[in-house]
């Protein structure tokens, strides 16, 4: 029976209908492959309820641990996401996907120092994978280890020169060091790629705006954002331009990763 999932649904009201459909067939507590595939199409709240029940039933289930950690991170519950990923890794210490998820959760909660070890281990397990290296670079930045961050960024770019994420992360690393022109060049490369998303384009708008080219930044921002958010971003840029210096804290507040 799906009793545990049903109890979760009474607490997480928006998830009731979605979870009820998953439970309708009855049977064992653990969901089958089809139910798990359907769970991937749910919103983060419903996914958290679904995978929470699965992980509660079996804490050695790597897929359930991954699903729950990702859903919690989607809800902004980054401390909980890190805790779940770490618990899942007890049974699967060499699971690269879980290691990456743990690193992402620590970075999302602003504790990059704790992301360094899982990112390093994930990189050692897959030396040709750029993802652990770009996460490691951001983790080093948060830990204020600039030279190591630079080296990790360059390693990630060497492995994936035509992927938007490592280019974007490296660009924001350059911006943090005050090299706005260099950051713009990298971001223009990133946004031209098929893998580029809104974050890359908005980081480009930020970097252009911080160079004083507000009309150009506004045009880029309006392509993706609602008017009120554009207004807030422009107000931030005007305030930043009015200051004598631009700090990394200001860049993080405006651009994100």
pLDDT per residue over 85-138, tens digit each? 999 999 999 999 999 999 999 999 999 999 999 999 999 999 999 999 999 999
Which band of pLDDT confidence, cut at 50, 70 and 90, is reported for residue 41?
confident
The residue with greater pLDDT, 171 or 254, is 171
Token pair recorded at residue 53: 């029940």
pLDDT at 243: 67
pLDDT at 92: 97
Q: Is this model's pTM higher than 0.75 or not? A: yes
Q: Would the pLDDT of 4 be above 50?
A: no
3-class SS of residue 6: helix
Q: Would the pLDDT of 29 be above 90?
A: no
Q: Would the pLDDT of 31 be above 90?
A: no
CA 242 distance to own-chain centroid: 31
Which band of pLDDT confidence, cut at 50, 70 and 90, is reported for residue 11?
very low
Q: Would the pLDDT of 19 be above 50?
A: no
Which whole number is the average pLDDT over 235-251? 68
Residue for token digits 């509660």? 56
Token pair recorded at residue 146: 């600039």
């Amino acid at each position: 029976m799906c009793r545990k999932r049903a109890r979760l649904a009474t607490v997480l009201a928006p998830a009731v209908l979605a979870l009820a459909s998953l439970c309708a067939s009855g049977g064992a507590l653990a969901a089958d492959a089809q139910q798990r595939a359907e769970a991937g199409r749910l919103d983060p709240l419903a996914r958290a309820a679904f995978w929470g029940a699965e992980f509660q039933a079996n804490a050695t289930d790597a897929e359930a641990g991954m699903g729950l950690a990702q859903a919690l991170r989607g809800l902004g519950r980054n401390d909980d996401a890190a805790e779940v990923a770490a618990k899942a890794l007890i049974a699967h210490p060499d699971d690269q996907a879980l290691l990456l998820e743990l690193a992402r959760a620590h970075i999302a909660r602003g504790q990059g120092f704790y992301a360094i070890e899982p990112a390093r281990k994930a990189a050692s397990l897959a030396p040709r994978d750029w993802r652990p290296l770009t996460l490691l670079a951001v983790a080093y930045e948060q830990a204020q280890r600039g030279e190591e961050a630079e080296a990790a960024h360059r390693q990630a770019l060497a492995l994936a020169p035509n992927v938007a994420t490592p280019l974007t992360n490296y660009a924001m690393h350059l911006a943090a060091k005050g090299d706005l022109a260099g950051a713009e060049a990298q971001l223009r490369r990133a946004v031209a790629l098929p893998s580029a998303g809104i974050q890359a384009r908005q980081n480009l708008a930020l970097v252009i705006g911080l160079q004083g080219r507000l009309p150009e930044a506004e045009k880029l921002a309006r392509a993706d954002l609602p008017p009120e958010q554009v207004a807030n971003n422009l107000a931030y840029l005007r305030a930043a331009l009015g200051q004598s210096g631009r700090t990394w804290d200001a860049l993080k507040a405006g651009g994100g990763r």
